[in-house]
Amino acid sequence: MNRRYRKTIIAGNWKMNKTATETKKFAEELKTMLPKAKWCEVVVCVPAVNISTAIRAFKDMRVSIGAENVFYERSGAYTGEVSADMLKDLGVKYVIIGHSERRQYFGETDVTVNKKVLAALEAGLHPIICVGESLEQREMGITMELIALQVKAALADVPAEKARKCVIAYEPIWAIGTGKTATAEQANEVCNAIRATIRHLYGARVARSVTIQYGGSMNPGNAAELLAQPDVDGGLIGGASLKPDQFTAIVNAANQE
Ligand code: 13P
């Protein structure tokens, strides 16, 4: 973390979990435990059908609501899709774009990720852009090149003043939902390389202002060490974000003075 230059953001990614009823219950429980997050922003990204419920349920808590996906067209004959304007109108602040599960199961590519980033920014949303390598790619020694490519592709045609509004989440695919976390050094090494890519694209001022999260089996036991790294500015948390006590513990780790 480096709070002098950029925001620390702890975001939950609920994936395809929790009904609207469970969303309300989670918010009620979280309310009794969540500290006043002075030093970090807390975000909960929920399934699209639960957004309205979440906006209401978290209204008087300092929690921002995020979506897990968005389509890049503004409107039209795209059955089943949700536009950036629709999300913005509900009060959504963040949207996860290019999560590895969407790349793997729903055919997202660096090209569609870029279109979605542009659409989200146009609507005034903050994209949380996910990048990350598979185990095979790490073992082949191409992690850095691959991540740089993913970041550059996602930010194609994004001007500097809008790049500042983006969050990048480094999520090694081998660490997602596996209980295997990247070491703090591995996480920082890649987050640092992401910042170097942004510096190359936009210069030092933008690079130092962009929040870069780590995601992949982050939990109350490893959060403090990961967040202590200079280039790890927060977490994108799957499994542990579904449990109010665990999510709170991670927020507490980011909330240390
Ligand atoms: P886990 O925390 O369950 O490994 O998931 C990470 C993730 O994919 C967040 O987007």
Active site annotation includes 200: no
User: pLDDT tens-digit profile of 226-243?
Assistant: 999 999 999 999 999 999
User: In a mutational test of the pocket of ligand 1, which residue from 128, 133, 171, 226 has the highest number of ligand atoms less than 8 Å from its CB?
Assistant: 171
| Helix (H), strand (E) at residue 196 | helix 184-202
Please answer whether residues 96 and 12 qualify as being in contact, where contact means their C-beta atoms are separated by less than 8 angstroms.
no
pLDDT at 212 over 70: yes
- The pLDDT, as a whole number, for residue 36 is 75
Q: How confident is the model at residue 180 (pLDDT cuts 50, 70, 90)?
A: confident
Q: What is the mean pLDDT of the chain?
A: 96
User: pLDDT tens-digit profile of 51-107?
Assistant: 999 999 999 899 999 999 999 999 999 999 999 999 999 999 999 999 999 999 999
pLDDT at 253 over 90: yes
Distance CA 88, CA 201 (A): 28
pLDDT at 209 over 70: yes
Q: What percent of the chain has pLDDT over 90?
A: 93
Protein residues whose CB sits closer than 6 Å to any atom of ligand 1: 13, 99, 171, 176-177, 215-218, 236-240
**Total length of the chain:** 257
* CA 94 / ligand 1 centre spacing (Å): 17
Q: Which atom of ligand 1 is nearest to the CA of 178?
A: 4
Structural domains of the chain sorted by starting position, each given as residue range(s) with its CATH number in brackets = 8-31+41-254 (3.20.20.70)
Angle, in degrees to the nearest 10, between helices 184-202 and 143-154: 40
pLDDT at 257 over 80: no
Q: Which of 99, 101, 126, 133 is catalytic?
A: 99
How many CA atoms does the CB half-sphere of 132 hold within 13 Å? 30
pLDDT at 37 over 70: no
Angle, in degrees to the nearest 10, between helices 20-33 and 244-254: 50
pLDDT at 38 over 80: no
Distance CA 138, CA 173 (A): 10
Q: How confident is the model at residue 179 (pLDDT cuts 50, 70, 90)?
A: confident
User: In a mutational test of the pocket of ligand 1, which residue from 15, 96, 97, 173 has the highest number of ligand atoms less than 8 Å from its CB?
Assistant: 15
pLDDT at 121 over 90: yes
Identify the residue with better confidence: 4 or 111: 111
Q: Which atom of ligand 1 is nearest to the CA of 96?
A: 10
Active site annotation includes 99: yes
Token pair recorded at residue 256: 């240390």
